[in-house]
Amino acid sequence: MYSDPAVKGGHKLSLDMCRLLDIVIALAVLLFIAPLMLVIAGLIKLQDGGPALFRQSRIGQGGEAFKCLKFRTMVTDAEVRLNALLARDPEARREWELDHKLRKDPRITALGAFLRKSSLDELPQLFNVLKGEMSLVGPRPIVTAEIPRYGRWFAHYCAVRPGVTGLWQVNGRNDVSYRRRVALDVLYARTVGVRRYVQIMAATVPAVLLRSGSY
């Protein structure tokens, strides 16, 4: 288990308030957008017959693994295509090793590209929020392969719940270097609280509308 003493101590009441906000907001949003989510799930199913949801193991608070939910934005054989691309394309391999992202990702479907640009693919994570695996605000949940990128700062990442949105998303998202992303996660862990929570939630709206760093 990993924790940050600075977060565990005097911030408990503030964290409890953030958790209450998570539950209230997530429930309200889910009730409002349930029809939209059903339409998106149906469109994904129609495009290739594959599952509408994508479940991936991510690292949560305390270093515990959980299944992070998203609407599927890639082809059903995405892993096979990625391995083939990285094996034949040195430039793509370098880009992947740098940020675990590809600007021109051949695995993403046309519908998936739209869902990513609009951030609609993230909507199922509201269920992760209700289960207590995620918060609406926090570091983006990482996979095990990314842990070495955090080095000695990994304990800060583990000190709080990963979030649907956070400092990374409202400060450029994929246009931000991984090193900068880690610094933003550390900053959030050290300043977590209701005020920071509200600031990030408010900044998320224009960030989504402008599609800043989204691909």
102 and 170 share one domain: no
pLDDT recorded at residue 154: 96
140 and 102 share one domain: no
Q: How would you classify residue 213: left for phi > 0, otherwise alpha for psi between -120 and 50, otherwise beta?
A: left
68 and 174 share one domain: yes
Would you say residue 101 has pLDDT above 90?
no
pLDDT recorded at residue 187: 93
Distance between CA atoms of residues 176 and 164, nearest Å = 17
Candidates 21, 3, 18; CA nearest to 61 is: 3
Does 214 map to a domain?
no
* Average per-residue pLDDT for the chain: 88
Six token digits for residue 87:
């094996």
Look at residue 140 and give its three-state secondary structure. Answer: coil
The predicted model scores a pTM of 0.86
Share above pLDDT 90 across residues of the chain, in percent, rounded to a whole number = 62
113 and 55 share one domain: yes
- Domain extent for 103: 78-107
39 and 131 share one domain: yes
86 and 186 share one domain: no
52 and 101 share one domain: no
Note the pLDDT tens digit of each residue in 158-172. 999 999 999 988 887
pLDDT recorded at residue 59: 97
Note the pLDDT tens digit of each residue in 1-33. 454 444 444 467 778 899 999 999 999 999 999
102 and 114 share one domain: no
98 and 193 share one domain: no
Query: What residue has token string 């995405």?
Result: 78
What stretch of H or E contains 12? helix 12-48
Does 215 map to a domain?
no
- On whether the CB atoms of residues 147 and 155 are closer than 8 A, the answer is no
pLDDT recorded at residue 2: 53
Instruction: Give the chain's domain count.
Output: 2
10 and 60 share one domain: yes
Supply angle C-alpha 192, 196, 199, rounded to 5.
160
- On whether the CB atoms of residues 27 and 131 are closer than 8 A, the answer is no
184 and 84 share one domain: no
Would you say residue 58 has pLDDT above 60?
yes
| Angle formed by the axes of helices 78-88 and 90-99, nearest 10° | 120
pLDDT recorded at residue 89: 82
Strand pairing category for 53-59 and 135-137: unpaired
Indicate the pLDDT class of residue 214, thresholds 50, 70 and 90.
Answer: low
